[in-house]
């Protein structure tokens, strides 16, 4: 569990580092904030949103992907005081596994 800090109104970047096994490819990445089971699912190839948008405000988030280094980034554009203490975890879906495997996570701590 890593800790990120940021001031209200400043962008905050969370990174999901993934290590697929030999012969596997990453098909999707999901981000889950605290107490949320829907999450934001992204295409690993294009970093675009997959499926219906979640109920929380998507205008506050943007996404960048780097497939060469298996690094996926979630950019929170506008932190609000209600985000303080919120932890995000990411999970990854591999081509040779039917289930989604949990990966790294990060928590927001406002200065």
The CB-side HSE value for 67 (13 A sphere, CA atoms) comes to 11
Q: What is the pLDDT of residue 70?
A: 67
DSSP state of 52: S
Q: Specify the 3-state DSSP secondary structure of 58.
A: helix
Structural domains in the chain, sorted by start:
2-104 (2.60.40.10)
Q: And the tokens for 14?
A: 């969370």
Stated pTM of the model: 0.65
Closest CA to 61 of 42, 46, 76, 45: 76
Residue 20 has pLDDT above 70, yes or no: no
| DSSP-assigned letters across all residues of 79-107 | --GGGTT-EEEEEEEETT-SSEEEEEEEE
Average pLDDT of the chain is 72
Arithmetic mean of pLDDT, 10-33: 74
């Amino acid at each position: 569990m890593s800790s990120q800090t940021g001031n209200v109104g400043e962008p905050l970047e969370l990174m999901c580092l993934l290590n697929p096994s030999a012969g596997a490819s990453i098909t999707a990445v999901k981000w889950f904030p605290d107490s949320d089971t829907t999450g934001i699912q992204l295409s690993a190839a294009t970093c675009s949103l997959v499926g219906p948008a979640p109920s929380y405000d998507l205008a506050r988030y943007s996404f960048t992907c780097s497939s060469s280094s298996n690094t996926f980034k979630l950019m929170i554009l506008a932190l609000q005081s209600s985000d303080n203490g919120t932890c995000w975890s990411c999970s990854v879906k591999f081509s040779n596994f039917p289930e989604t495997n949990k990966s790294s996570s990060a928590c927001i701590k406002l200065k």
